[in-house]
Structure 1
Amino acid sequence: MAKPRINVHITREVWKRLDEMAKRPGVSKAAIVDAALAAFLSPEADDRRDAAIIRRLDRIDRRIDRADRDITVTAETLALFARYFLTVTPPLPEQDRQAAQALGRERFGYFIEQLAKRLASGKSLSAEVLDDTVPEASQFADTMDFTTIGK
């Protein structure tokens, strides 16, 4: 029984690629198109696509979870600092307030400059702090340390 025949229009780029692939021995254009259509129409192709989408969504979900954690830590840090600062800082006498406000504006300007530089450089202070506080692998005990205990 003869195979059904179809006529289709494809782009020149696809035609060139098909023509190149068909130059290999034992491969015909019809076989390539038949295999490509079978793969495209296969339910397994949908499963592969779905699996790829699920992997990407899982990756996005993990990133969102990390961002949520970082935002929570940042908000809690800021809240604790504000509470501590407001608790330990006594109110200024009226005669010192103008000078203190001027100094505060100057310090705040410096703070904003430093913040702008850090954001422009892409360096994260929290990442630097973690790098400084998380121990290196060489600082952990190894098996030999445990075998010598009690000897």
Structure 2
Amino acid sequence: MLNRDKVRYQLFLEPRLAERLEEMAAQPGVARSDILVAALDAWLTRQGSNELDERFGPRLDRMSLQIGRLGRDLQVLLESLSVFVHQQFCLNAQIPEPDAAARAVGRERFDRFIEQIGRQMASGAKPLTQANEVAS
């Protein structure tokens, strides 16, 4: 393209950028204008496309799916807990207050329950996996 077909701009560069430009233009057959045109074209092209979406979109999509699965699993867990609590409070008979033997059995069962939760948390295993193993 002839110079008369181009638009001339005057710009000011910081000294560090001017030095880098001069180093690149020191090679034979490389003009400062060509370097600046290529750099400006690359910058404008990147600004036109959403670079963050291109870079992180697939990863964010996978993370969204994983969070959705976690939400679903949490919902199942909460529903199971609510059914269990409902069964314990509504369907099982209450222990009479003066019955010391029944209270002792209740305390023993609660202690075993707490110990089992402690073991599960310490092992880092998934609760539903261990619940299935205990039920088997």
Scaled by the length of structure 2, the TM-score of the pair is 0.55
Counterpart in 2 of 1:96? 101
Give structure 1 stretches of 5+ with no counterpart: 133-151
Name the residue aligned to 2:9: 4
Structure 2 residue 97 is the aligned partner of structure 1 residue 109: no
Aligned partners of 1:111 and 1:24: how far apart in 2?
73
Picking from 51, 54, 60, the partner of 1:52 is 54
Give the percent of matched residue pairs that are identical in Structure 1 and Structure 2.
23
How far does the alpha carbon of each residue in 1:1-54 deviate from its partner, in whole angstroms, 9 at most, with x for none? Answer: 374343322768xx4xx95x7788865665344323212223x64323264378
Letter aligned with residue 107 of structure 1: R
Q: Deviations over 1:63-87 (max 9, x none)?
A: 3322321221111121223334446
Report if the CA contact (8 A) 2:120-2:127 is conserved: no
Q: Following the alignment from structure 1 to structure 2, what is the Cα–Cα distance between the partners of residues 37 and 64?
A: 40
Amino acid of the residue matched to residue 111 of structure 1?
Answer: Q
5+ unaligned residues in a row in structure 2: which ranges?
none
Question: What letter corresponds to residue 12 of structure 2 in structure 1?
Answer: N
Report which of the two structures shows the higher radius of gyration computed on alpha carbons. 2
* Cα distance between partner residues in 1 of 2:29 and 2:84: 74
Aligned residue pairs total: 121
What code does the residue aligned with 2:102 have? Answer: R
Query: What TM-score results when the alignment is normalised by the length of structure 1?
Result: 0.52
For residues 90 and 8 of structure 1, do their structure 2 counterparts lie closer, same or farther at Cα, with a shift above 3 Å needed?
Answer: same
Partners of 2:15 and 2:121 in 1: CA distance = 53
